[in-house]
Amino acid sequence: MVLHSAQEILTAIQEKKDAKIVITTHHKPDADAMGSSLGLWLFLKTLGLNATFISPTDFASFLHWMKGSKEAVVFEGNETRSKTITEEADFIFCLDFNHLSRINEYGDVVSKSKAVKILIDHHQFPQGFENFTYWDDKASSTCELVYRFIADLGLKANIDKDIAACLYTGIVTDTGSFRYSNCSSRTHVIAAELMDFGIDHVAIHDLVFDSYTENRVRFIGYAISQKMEVLREYSTALITINKHELKEYDVITGDTEGLVNYGLSIEGIKFAVLIIDRSKIVKMSFRSKGNFAANNFAMNHFNGGGHFHAAGGSSLVSFEDTIAEFKEVLKQYKEELNA
Ligand code: 5GP
Ligand code: MN
């Protein structure tokens, strides 16, 4: 894979007169996806560039405070408008994903577009659909990469408080508040530099982690106390949520974010899994500790991928069959999980 410099990418954009730019990210964008997209969107605006942020789907309400989120075009529900904007685009920035399947039906639109595609991402095994690659799987987050992109251009002076707040947020969430193995000293330096733009990190933390609805907290309590199975034999904790429960607790976008992590907080547990019966697919989240590769597990058995310790996937068979299949597959990993 050939990596490109930030300068090569910006030069290509600036050489095109009145370039039209689209920024997009994975479906159900999390804080890193939203923070990096809006951070980049706000930054491109400081250069006088014409960019539109298109999200494949809606995003959690705890991210609505981010500057620019109201100007986001949501593909799902605005298909015609999104298609027109994408067809007219000269450049498409693809952030925080590297496989077109991660942007659902919008992937088709992006794939058919003649625009030059620019990838900024930190996930392993890129599909390779892009023309320019700004990629590092050692980066904590795509927000860290967007910061490095701006810094490489020598344009840190263009960062303002709003951009810094967006980028800081994705770094905090993707590193689990600076505790996962993806967090490096470089990540801390970048977070410190972002703080120097005058962001209110206490308020950001409050907005992202302490603004849950009562329903959401009760749902988490229910999921842990009633729906978590601890499979000691496999050092694994499994939470399963069916359609009825999603309805009963009025679960909305973002409400299940972070739920999978609770399993890993149990001593001796190395693998935590969340299986949710979503409307069209059965969605799976995987988290691991130590030497167990969650992304390989997701890739080999459940059409997924992600990072070594945090991955996801999906299944097209029924919810019940997915759970059974998962438990069956897990048997192959008994030794590895108990090593
Ligand atoms: P989450 O469990 O929070 O949805 O996702 C965890 C990580 O796995 C994220 O980095 C996300 O990009 C990746 N991921 C989640 N679902 C999928 C999937 O279906 N396919 C792939 N390739 N990656 C996924
Ligand atoms: Mn990310």
Task: Show which of 209, 238, 253 is a domain's final residue.
Answer: 209
The answer to whether residues 90 and 190 belong to one domain is: yes
The answer to whether residues 17 and 59 belong to one domain is: yes
How much distance in Å is there from the Cα of 293 to the middle of ligand 2?
17
Tokens coding 273:
């899994």
The answer to whether residues 196 and 258 belong to one domain is: no
The answer to whether residues 118 and 261 belong to one domain is: no
Task: Show which of 155, 188, 209 is a domain's final residue.
Answer: 209
The answer to whether residues 201 and 240 belong to one domain is: no
Question: Model pTM?
Answer: 0.96
The answer to whether residues 23 and 58 belong to one domain is: yes
Residue nearest to atom 7 of ligand 1 (CA): 311
Q: Is 310 a pocket residue for ligand 1 (Cβ < 6 Å)?
A: yes
Question: What confidence score (pLDDT) does residue 178 get?
Answer: 98
The answer to whether residues 311 and 286 belong to one domain is: yes
The answer to whether residues 195 and 277 belong to one domain is: no
Domain count, the chain: 2
What CATH number does residue 182 fall under? Answer: 3.90.1640.10
The answer to whether residues 204 and 280 belong to one domain is: no
Q: Which of 102, 261, 271 to mutate to test the pocket of ligand 1 (most atoms within 8 A of CB)?
A: 102
The answer to whether residues 49 and 197 belong to one domain is: yes
Mean per-residue pLDDT pooled into runs of 10, the chain (339 residues): 97 98 98 99 98 97 97 98 98 98 96 98 96 98 98 98 99 97 97 98 97 95 98 98 97 95 97 95 97 98 96 96 98 96
The answer to whether residues 190 and 219 belong to one domain is: no
Q: Is 39 a pocket residue for ligand 1 (Cβ < 6 Å)?
A: no
Atom of ligand 1 nearest to the CA of 174: 10
Q: Is 311 a pocket residue for ligand 1 (Cβ < 6 Å)?
A: yes
Ligand nearest to the CA of 169: 2
**Residue 220 is part of which domain span?**
214-337
The answer to whether residues 141 and 285 belong to one domain is: no
Atom of ligand 1 nearest to the CA of 28: 4
How much distance in Å is there from the Cα of 253 to the middle of ligand 1?
15
Task: Show which of 194, 209, 224 is a domain's final residue.
Answer: 209
Question: What confidence score (pLDDT) does residue 337 get?
Answer: 97
How much distance in Å is there from the Cα of 106 to the middle of ligand 1?
17
